A = this chain, B = another copy of it.
Amino acid sequence: MSLLVIGSVAFDALETPFGKTDKIVGGAASYISLSSSYFVKPVNLVAVVGGDFLKSDIELFQEHGVDTAGLQIKENEKSFFWSGRYFNDMNSRETLVTELNVLGDFDPIIPEAYQNCEYLMLGNLAPQVQRTVIERLQNRPKLIVMDTMNFWMDIAYDELIKTIALVDVLSINDEEARQLSGEYSLVKAARKIMAMGPKYLIIKKGEHGALLFGQNEIFYAPALPLEDVFDPTGAGDTFAGGFIGYLAKAGDVSFNNMKSAVIHGSAMASFCVEKFGTERLVNLSQEEIDARVQLFADLVRF
């Protein structure tokens, strides 16, 4: 049941064809913990913010069942900040500003109460920091899921490979799977990546859905065709949060249950992109989630 989430909690400033925001709450761990909180509570969070992070935003996490005992607050520093602009097709974006700030020397301290977690979600971060978390846990969790991105393939390849070798499920997008494996065919890419350590691989394909690979099994989860994608930021993190939250709730890490977890993650991601940032994620009802999962089921039933 117990879920530990690590990743960035940050400020984002976003610009899409539909509008722009000032600094709003962002960061992989924000999306992951809010998303997973609809499945399991508490969500134990390990992250770092600066003195500029609002108390009311921390309270918002707490109201969703996120335990923030592991959220370090560096009063005299500033929170990680990222600013980006999406192009018209919403599939590509440019980074305008990246300020590492507190994330630059983030030391992930695990509160004693967070030890013995059964489910560990490593949100996108420097792979050596992700690995430190695994090393600091006294017992290996039942399931470790790791999300990462091409940035670390470019600048920290060796560290990344060492960390990937330790996890059960790796979650990356299709371009990243191709980059990491050097294979264009996703079937071949999956085989190579699973040989690096993970028993399961999730390849996220955005508007084209997601693939879940096991040793001898493949599952294809569609994406819901949407009227508009308002803001894709955090969709992959929200997916990961729904995925591991569903597994932690069920306490079942079979491939069969992972299929349902992928669908629930996809459903959560489909909400995320409907509004800016985490806006949609903080106001969801169980009925809305159930109805959305049913839409996914109907979408592929024949």
Contacts and interface: CB of A to CB of B under 8 A. Distances in A.
Interface of A: 88-90, 184-188, 205, 207-209, 211, 218-223, 225-229, 256, 259-260, 262-263, 297, 299-302
Given A89-B184, A184-B89, A209-B208, A300 B226 contact: no
Tallying the copies of this chain within the complex gives 2
Given A220-B222, A225-B218, A302 B187 contact: no
Contacts of A302: 219, 221, 256, 259-260, 262-263, 297
B225 A299 contact: no
Contacts of A227: 185, 187-188
A256 to B, nearest CB: 8
A3 to B, nearest CB: 22
Contact of A299 (B89, B184, B208, B220): B220
Contact of A226 (B89, B187, B229, B299): B187
20 contacts: A88-B184, A90-B184, A185-B227, A185-B229, A186-B207, A187-B226, A187-B227, A188-B228, A208-B209, A209-B209, A209-B222, A218-B225, A219-B300, A220-B225, A220-B299, A220-B300, A221-B300, A222-B222, A256-B302, A259-B301
Contacts of A263: 302
B88 A228 contact: no
Contact of A222 (B226, B228, B300, B301): B300
Nearest to A88: B184
Contacts of A256: 302
Contacts of A207: 186
| Leading 8 A-B pairs by shortest Cβ distance | A208-B208, A259-B302, A220-B222, A300-B300, A220-B299, A187-B227, A187-B225, A260-B302
Nearest to A190: B225
Contacts of A205: 208
Nearest to A17: B184
Contacts of A219: 299-300, 302
A229 B186 CA distance: 11
Nearest to A302: B259
Contacts of A222: 209, 220, 222, 300
A181 to B, nearest CB: 13
Nearest to A188: B227
Nearest to A256: B302
B186 A225 contact: yes
A89 B229 CA distance: 27
Given A188-B227, A205-B208, A219-B299, 6 more contacts: A88-B184, A185-B229, A187-B226, A188-B228, A222-B300, A259-B302
